[in-house]
Chains A and B, each alone.
Chain A
Amino acid sequence: MMALLSGLLSHAVLSGGVLALAALGEVIAERAGVVDLGVEGLMSVGAVIAVLMVNVVPDPWVGLLAAMVAGGFGAYLFSLAAVVLRANQVLCGVATTFLGIGLSAVMGRSVAGMPVPAIFQPIAIPGLSRLPLIGPAFFAQNLLVYLIFAILPVLAHVWLFRTRMGLDLRAVGENPAAADAVGIRVTRLRVLAVVAGGVLAGAAGADLTLAVVPVWSDGMVSGRGWIAVALVIFAGYRPGIAVLSGLLFGLVTAIGFMGQARGWPVAPAMLNTLPYLGTILCIIVPVVALPRLRRAMAAPASLGMPYHRSAR
């Protein structure tokens, strides 16, 4: 029982990390006022590029780097249409998702279903990893997991809330006209935020294929990008909470796995609905309990709205 719980917890942390990473990227883009619904597609591209790369250079870090470049490049193309040319963000986002899923399947044909030659190996932290139950789950993971849960959210938080650039970025998301009036380069910052988000989405894809499920198959991102977008809203556009919500989602998913392992008399497909229903409950219950939360978790005021200088 203990071994099962510990194994599930570790898997929850590992798979929750993918969502956490993608959600963190989307937080940055949305804080600048851009809804990037292309996450699913960018993750797919990142996932396949990582696998293709490690087939050439068998080093997971090289794969990760390639995936980040690919994710950033894809997001840059999206931002050219949705930010620079100011086309409809939702439309361009869905288009990016289709483009990414389609291209990734075409590119990955040669490696589909084959074992990945190099993956991220767990590194146990001495001492802490011996703790019962939580030791293996939190302190015997690969380096990416430590980065995702301990370092990146802190960096993102400091960048967004403690630096001048972060302030500018958030200003652009709240009131681009005012930001423009004080000399902030609205378009440039928005493009930058979207590309940063895309880099993290690409990394999330690499995390998926180089650590969580080490094999490429068509459509393997299977909705994780969309869930990441949902978690951002759930997290009230805060980096720390976004990462935690990824973990939470992973945990609820693990409950479903436990049900399967323990032979609960419920169909697996029904158990798989748990994380989604759980997330919905987690969104609604706190608002019922604490109505004041509503304002604190509100979206950036200009989210999803292209900025036209002439309309100032």
Chain B
Amino acid sequence: MSVHMTRLSIVPARRVAIGRALGLLVAVMIVGITLAAMGRPPLELLTLILRSTVGSRFGIEDLALFMTPLMLTGAAVWVGVRVGLWNIGAEGQFYAGAVAASAIGLFGTMPAIVEIPLMAVGGILAGMVWIALPAAARAWLGVSEIVTTLLLNFVASLIVFYLATGPWADHVTGALASTERLRVGLPEVWGAVHIGFFLSLLAVIALAAFLSRSRFGYESAVVGANPEAARYAGMAVSRNVLIVLLLSGGLAGLAGMIEVSGTVHRLQGGLANNYGYLGIVVAILARRSCLALIPAALLMGFILDTGIVLQTAQISASAVLAITGLVMMAIAVGDELSAYARPAIQPKTSGQTS
């Protein structure tokens, strides 16, 4: 950067928001010009997007449905990142949670009022089980959780594919790579928006309160910042690492349970829809604040929702994926550039750390 600029170590939320908005604007302009060059009227598409996302009741419902899993997978990644642990396996834990919930939802015989809480607990536990090995290996052996959690994603998606095409395959309608409709589903509260949306919102708020007020929240933060100091202060480092990762897996598992029982209603291949990986994006966008996961999930949900709208306008899913990538890149750059400001005082005196 030029000599006249200085990098802020703490960036005010308003600057970040402006930086991201500018990034988004640049990406939208690039996409618009490209579409215009391909003979598609960009302004018409823009009105279509706005009308079908934030401009109509159905659009807002869809947005809420996209936000739901993103808030939880975002939270799952965020609790780890907060203490320097990278759970790249939210996708796998999401599937694990969905499988457990589907097992109960497909084969259970109890009334919905008993079964739904059971599915939620099952989903959370399955997510925890799915991360248990990487978590234990990280906590006691120091094995990088990045690789082990990532590799288990592929295993989970293969198992879901196996279940959905094999033993649990739908024999009624013969849908491809899908189970039958679960017998119970989350009650819908507002149009297509089910109770899972509010549950996810509540989970993020509860998590923020829990981490900022509990002893565990404090200890794990210390462990993340400086394990040696934590050990010196008598904190159980390994146990804290284990618990943080289990919590992370549980949140992702809950996301899977909510998605399968509230939105999709069937266990199918591709159910996770990259929500686990996008959770990483949401967590990074939220930066240090847990509550910021909510607007971050809204932004990501908006991008995904826009993608679906573009697909209805005959723009291929692949082109939409490329556009998503471009937008994410632009936001990342806008995010970083928002940290640069004209110094109020001369740069020489602004000794800062980041």
The answer to whether A288 and B284 have CB atoms under 8 Å apart is no
The answer to whether B322 and A98 have CB atoms under 8 Å apart is yes
A-B contact list, 12 entries, CB within 8 Å: A88-B332, A88-B335, A90-B280, A92-B332, A95-B332, A98-B321, A102-B324, A223-B154, A230-B150, A270-B158, A273-B158, A280-B147
The answer to whether B147 and A288 have CB atoms under 8 Å apart is no
Q: A230-B150, A267-B162 are in contact. Are A85 and B328 (CB under 8 A)?
A: no
Q: Bound state CA distance, A308 and B318, in angstroms?
A: 36
Tell me the smallest distance from the CB of B143 to a CB of chain A, in Å. Answer: 6
A284 contacts B by Cβ under 8 Å? yes
> Which one of A41, A88, A223, A276 contacts B325 once the chains associate, using CB atoms below 8 Å?
A41
A73 contacts B by Cβ under 8 Å? no
Q: Which residues of A contact B238 (CB under 8 A)?
A: none
The answer to whether B325 and A95 have CB atoms under 8 Å apart is yes
Q: Interface of chain A, helix or strand or loop or mixed? A: helix
- 8 smallest beta-carbon distances between A and B, as pairs: A102-B322, A99-B325, A98-B325, A105-B318, A102-B321, A95-B328, A269-B162, A95-B329
> Which one of A273, A287, A310 contacts B352 once the chains associate, using CB atoms below 8 Å?
A310
Residues of A at the B interface (CB closer than 8 Å) are: 41, 81-82, 85-88, 90-92, 94-106, 218, 223, 226-227, 229-230, 233-234, 267, 269-270, 272-273, 276-277, 279-280, 283-284, 287-288, 291, 294, 299, 306, 308, 310-311
B 138-155 to A, binary, CB cutoff 8 A, 1 in contact else 0: 000111101110111011
The answer to whether B284 and A96 have CB atoms under 8 Å apart is no
The answer to whether A86 and B151 have CB atoms under 8 Å apart is no
The answer to whether A106 and B322 have CB atoms under 8 Å apart is yes
Q: Which residues of B contact A98 (CB under 8 A)?
A: 321-322, 324-325, 328
Q: Which residues of A contact B323 (CB under 8 A)?
A: 102
Interface residues of B in 312-329 (CB under 8 A from A): 316, 318-329
Q: A87-B335, A283-B143 are in contact. Are A101 and B281 (CB under 8 A)?
A: no
Q: Which residues of A contact B319 (CB under 8 A)?
A: 102, 106
Q: Bound state CA distance, A60 and B105, in angstroms?
A: 52
Q: Output the residue of A100, A269, A306 with the most chain B CB within 10 A.
A: A269
- Give the number of chain B interface residues (Cβ < 8 Å): 51
Inter-chain contact total with CB atoms closer than 8 Å: 152
The answer to whether B154 and A101 have CB atoms under 8 Å apart is no
The answer to whether A269 and B158 have CB atoms under 8 Å apart is yes
Q: Bound state CA distance, A87 and B333, in angstroms?
A: 5
B336 contacts A by Cβ under 8 Å? yes
Q: A103-B322, A279-B151, A287-B143 are in contact. List 18 more A-B contacts (CB 8 A).
A: A87-B335, A90-B280, A91-B329, A92-B332, A94-B280, A95-B327, A96-B329, A98-B324, A105-B321, A267-B166, A273-B159, A280-B147, A280-B148, A280-B151, A283-B144, A311-B352, A311-B353, A311-B354
The answer to whether B329 and A310 have CB atoms under 8 Å apart is no
Tell me the smallest distance from the CB of A311 to a CB of chain B, in Å. Answer: 5
The answer to whether A100 and B141 have CB atoms under 8 Å apart is no
The answer to whether A102 and B137 have CB atoms under 8 Å apart is no
The answer to whether B332 and A91 have CB atoms under 8 Å apart is yes
Tell me the smallest distance from the CB of A249 to a CB of chain B, in Å. Answer: 10
Tell me the smallest distance from the CB of B179 to a CB of chain A, in Å. Answer: 15
Q: Which residues of A contact B150 (CB under 8 A)?
A: 226, 229-230
Q: Bound state CA distance, A310 and B348, in angstroms?
A: 10
Q: Which residues of A contact B285 (CB under 8 A)?
A: 91
Tell me the smallest distance from the CB of A192 to a CB of chain B, in Å. Answer: 21
Residues of B at the A interface (CB closer than 8 Å) are: 6-7, 9, 133, 137, 141-144, 146-148, 150-152, 154-155, 158-159, 161-162, 165-166, 277, 280-281, 284-285, 316, 318-329, 331-333, 335-337, 347, 352-354
The answer to whether B326 and A95 have CB atoms under 8 Å apart is yes
Q: Which residues of A contact B146 (CB under 8 A)?
A: 230, 233
Measured CB to CB, the nearest residue on chain B to A310 is B7
The answer to whether B144 and A233 have CB atoms under 8 Å apart is yes
Measured CB to CB, the nearest residue on chain A to B167 is A267
The answer to whether A276 and B7 have CB atoms under 8 Å apart is no
The answer to whether B321 and A81 have CB atoms under 8 Å apart is no
The answer to whether A86 and B316 have CB atoms under 8 Å apart is no
Tell me the smallest distance from the CB of B113 to a CB of chain A, in Å. Answer: 35
Q: Which residues of A contact B322 (CB under 8 A)?
A: 98-99, 101-103, 106
Q: Bound state CA distance, A86 and B324, in angstroms?
A: 20
Measured CB to CB, the nearest residue on chain B to A100 is B325
Tell me the smallest distance from the CB of A211 to a CB of chain B, in Å. Answer: 23
Tell me the smallest distance from the CB of A138 to a CB of chain B, in Å. Answer: 26
Measured CB to CB, the nearest residue on chain A to B334 is A87
Q: Which residues of B contact A88 (CB under 8 A)?
A: 284, 332, 335-336
Q: Bound state CA distance, A288 and B137, in angstroms?
A: 9
> Which one of B137, B151, B336 contacts A276 once the chains associate, using CB atoms below 8 Å?
B151
Tell me the smallest distance from the CB of B247 to a CB of chain A, in Å. Answer: 21
> Which one of B7, B133, B332 contacts A81 once the chains associate, using CB atoms below 8 Å?
B332
Q: Which residues of A contact B137 (CB under 8 A)?
A: 283-284, 287
